[in-house]
A and B are shown apart, each in its own frame.
Chain A
């Protein structure tokens, strides 16, 4: 009797739904929630991990000149790279969308290549182009009688190089998202606008952009998160140099936490991104939700 009532309880829809979701819940708990809580815990220990120091590590970072340099660089890197990725993605999506359907596929495929190759590998290719002493790009510049550029050994050019590679890797993501968004805009809206005499610019401002607002917001949010937390490009190209001027949160956390063996401080550096990105995500997602409700 007891067994059958348990069986009935088990067969109720909410229970079935819960059990079906259980693998995912377990995955989230094990791979996201536990590491997150553990890293918070770690960031509150002293260097030897023997004493609880509360927010001591965070307060300590506030006093470090190099840390504030990393904060500025991460913000600058993320904003500039995401802006250009979005811009290039937008232009490329429009250009591809304007091509007749038949020829679109090969362009889509080719333009997605940078996004598909593992960044550590493609960045190694870029490193050969930028190599401090035997740069292939500098060889080309020399061939056309232009001066060599210190791609990785001067702060300005090193920052330029890592942003350039990040844009190269990330722009196809915007392209594919924007292309999908463009394709979902009903063609009759453009036809109606054309009949009303709207030019290209007006169609862009009054149809395309409003229809793409949500996807633009979400892709930008997603890209900012990924760009902020970027590691491989900087690690391969500059290792944070010259003179720490290309370090981002992740590479600096690696330097402090893994290379120097100060895991708690490294955890504090990497968790510093969380409130910044959390606030940004809250603002962007709230505006997306608002717009969705308006629709």
Chain B
């Protein structure tokens, strides 16, 4: 143990010296430590973007070759919850991969089975600067980092809008409000709020091109979490108290009662791909989604792709929030090669690796390290139309937020995975329940998710 520490210290000193001399971020080949050897198996989330898995595998395998580590990567789809099921099986059997993808809430779900990665993440922060607050919220649990930033898979749900329809039917020029440059008009941006969005939605609905987003039991309903945050509506506060019976929650319910009037009635049964189909088919005018809808439209319906624009979420009384979906890599406490895994985590946080992944994913992947956002050309150069992805990473006053924030992560994860927010809203908007009845139901559910 002591010997290991000595080795790490030695390596860091070496890196520091090298950085000082070259003024250059350390890229591959990563500096091999005495502990990087043997085999390392990874169970990694299989990316939606074609080719991205191959790219990542090449990065990992070449790191392994240069560092004497035999890398084996299994890409596991999240379709049908296979990733989560595999994680459940491995965590219970205490065998399987060494490194496993921890999507969004999985770090809190499996925190008792994950090796604390304080040394790794602190090294990353020291070298590259802080992570997004939302990323910290997901993985910094009980005073320990339970997982490290993954180089692929994290994304935001920005608004993906048909700028032509907004202009024609709602009189809103989204390209002017959110241009593909730093020159934003603060007044125009400030006026882009949920009330303006409601008015636009009504006009677009009347024009036969409604806005669509799920209010069902599916992860894409996380846009409702951002809506709640922008109104300051909390289901459970940061101390773990149930606070759903509030004016802010009633305000959101009131708002959603109006907005759903202008949305397709099928949204209560939408799954994660429904909104993509909605915008790609040309029927919809806006959705909340990562860059994948545009990427698929570019392939399947280029005419529509040319009319898409990624822009900021509307602002609420308490701020402008964007739904966040962060991906991490965790190290099982039963892993066989922890030291090599930790070295790999440090390596995949390097700027060149992250840039390559962002590029490979056509801009879909969002880095969790703030400094990696700067000067990334992928989002700037994406087209058509020119600048389509410029505002996909956040450029203004948006704050990335997890569903059910600011509840303690263990509680927020339960609220998210049991879709309490979507069900609460649907009870009012689809079932016609009174606010009082719906909130009472939510209180009962929240008591359930908070059990120890």
> Within 8 Å of chain A (Cβ to Cβ): is B95?
no
> Within 8 Å of chain B (Cβ to Cβ): is A187?
no
In the complex, the answer to whether A47 meets B271 with C-beta atoms within 8 Å is: no
In the complex, the answer to whether A260 meets B414 with C-beta atoms within 8 Å is: yes
> Within 8 Å of chain A (Cβ to Cβ): is B448?
yes
In the complex, the answer to whether B269 meets A158 with C-beta atoms within 8 Å is: yes
Chain A window 150-187, contacts with chain B (Cβ cutoff 8 Å), 1 for yes, 0 for no: 11111100100000000000000000000000000000
Given contacts A132-B266, A133-B274, contact A259 B417 (CB under 8 A): yes
Given the complex of chains A and B, what is the CA–CA distance between A154 and B431 in angstroms? 9
Q: Which of A46, A63, A260, A263 meets B418, CB within 8 Å?
A: A260
In the complex, the answer to whether B444 meets A64 with C-beta atoms within 8 Å is: yes
**Which A residues lie within 8 Å of B406 (CB)?**
none
Given the complex of chains A and B, what is the CA–CA distance between A66 and B447 in angstroms? 12
Q: Which of A9-17, A221-229, A237-245 contacts B (4 or more CB under 8 A)?
A: A237-245
Q: Which of B81, B217, B265, B418 meets A256, CB within 8 Å?
A: B418
Chain B window 198-214, contacts with chain A (Cβ cutoff 8 Å), 1 for yes, 0 for no: 00000000000000000
Chain A interface: which size bin? 20 to 34
Given contacts A46-B452, A132-B270, contact A239 B218 (CB under 8 A): yes
Given the complex of chains A and B, what is the CA–CA distance between A263 and B110 in angstroms? 12
In the complex, the answer to whether B418 meets A255 with C-beta atoms within 8 Å is: yes
Given contacts A47-B452, A239-B218, A243-B268, contact A261 B81 (CB under 8 A): no
For the complex formed, measure the closest distance between the CB of A227 and the CB atoms of chain B, giving whole angstroms: 22
> Within 8 Å of chain B (Cβ to Cβ): is A117?
no
In the complex, the answer to whether B445 meets A66 with C-beta atoms within 8 Å is: yes
In the complex, the answer to whether A239 meets B265 with C-beta atoms within 8 Å is: no
> Within 8 Å of chain A (Cβ to Cβ): is B172?
no
Of all chain B residues, which has the CB nearest A67? B448
In the complex, the answer to whether A65 meets B269 with C-beta atoms within 8 Å is: no
Chain A window 57-76, contacts with chain B (Cβ cutoff 8 Å), 1 for yes, 0 for no: 00010011110000000000
The A259-284 residues at the B interface (CB cut-off 8 A) are 259-263, 265
In the complex, the answer to whether A133 meets B277 with C-beta atoms within 8 Å is: yes
In the complex, the answer to whether A65 meets B278 with C-beta atoms within 8 Å is: no
For the complex formed, measure the closest distance between the CB of A125 and the CB atoms of chain B, giving whole angstroms: 16
Count, chain B residues at interface, CB 8 A: 40
Given the complex of chains A and B, what is the CA–CA distance between A223 and B337 in angstroms? 49
Given the complex of chains A and B, what is the CA–CA distance between A157 and B85 in angstroms? 30
Given the complex of chains A and B, what is the CA–CA distance between A133 and B84 in angstroms? 28
Q: Which of B85, B217, B278 meets A241, CB within 8 Å?
A: B217
**Which B residues lie within 8 Å of A240 (CB)?**
217
For the complex formed, measure the closest distance between the CB of A45 and the CB atoms of chain B, giving whole angstroms: 11
Q: Which of B269, B278, B447 meets A152, CB within 8 Å?
A: B269
In the complex, the answer to whether A244 meets B452 with C-beta atoms within 8 Å is: no
Q: Which of A48, A153, A255, A263 meets B266, CB within 8 Å?
A: A153
For the complex formed, measure the closest distance between the CB of A28 and the CB atoms of chain B, giving whole angstroms: 22
Of all chain A residues, which has the CB nearest B427? A243
> Within 8 Å of chain B (Cβ to Cβ): is A134?
yes
Of all chain B residues, which has the CB nearest A57? B451
The B405-452 residues at the A interface (CB cut-off 8 A) are 413-414, 417-418, 423, 426-427, 430-431, 441, 444-445, 447-449, 451-452
For the complex formed, measure the closest distance between the CB of B422 and the CB atoms of chain A, giving whole angstroms: 8
In the complex, the answer to whether B444 meets A132 with C-beta atoms within 8 Å is: no
In the complex, the answer to whether A153 meets B269 with C-beta atoms within 8 Å is: yes
> Within 8 Å of chain A (Cβ to Cβ): is B367?
no
In the complex, the answer to whether A238 meets B269 with C-beta atoms within 8 Å is: yes
In the complex, the answer to whether B218 meets A150 with C-beta atoms within 8 Å is: no
Given contacts A133-B274, A260-B414, A260-B418, contact A241 B452 (CB under 8 A): no
Given the complex of chains A and B, what is the CA–CA distance between A56 and B427 in angstroms? 29
For the complex formed, measure the closest distance between the CB of A273 and the CB atoms of chain B, giving whole angstroms: 20
In the complex, the answer to whether B430 meets A133 with C-beta atoms within 8 Å is: no
> Within 8 Å of chain A (Cβ to Cβ): is B301?
no
Q: Which of A154, A242, A258 meets B88, CB within 8 Å?
A: A258
In the complex, the answer to whether A261 meets B417 with C-beta atoms within 8 Å is: yes
**Which A residues lie within 8 Å of B451 (CB)?**
46-47, 60, 262, 265
Of all chain B residues, which has the CB nearest A238? B269
**Which B residues lie within 8 Å of A65 (CB)?**
441, 444-445
Q: Which of A48, A150, A255 meets B112, CB within 8 Å?
A: A48
Q: Which of A60, A242, A256, A263 meets B269, CB within 8 Å?
A: A242
> Within 8 Å of chain A (Cβ to Cβ): is B267?
yes
Chain B window 258-279, contacts with chain A (Cβ cutoff 8 Å), 1 for yes, 0 for no: 0000001111111100100110
Given the complex of chains A and B, what is the CA–CA distance between A134 and B277 in angstroms? 9
> Within 8 Å of chain A (Cβ to Cβ): is B216?
yes
In the complex, the answer to whether B414 meets A239 with C-beta atoms within 8 Å is: no
Question: Chain B interface (Cβ within 8 Å of chain A)?
Answer: 81, 84-85, 88, 109-110, 112, 216-218, 264-271, 274, 277-278, 281, 283, 413-414, 417-418, 423, 426-427, 430-431, 441, 444-445, 447-449, 451-452
What would be 13 A-B contacts, judged by CB atoms less than 8 Å apart?
Answer: A63-B447, A64-B448, A132-B270, A133-B274, A150-B265, A239-B218, A241-B269, A242-B426, A243-B426, A259-B84, A260-B414, A260-B449, A261-B417
Known: A260-B449, A261-B110. 20 other contacts (CB 8 A): A46-B451, A47-B451, A60-B448, A63-B447, A64-B444, A64-B445, A132-B266, A132-B274, A150-B265, A153-B266, A153-B268, A158-B269, A241-B217, A241-B269, A242-B216, A242-B268, A242-B430, A258-B81, A258-B84, A259-B84
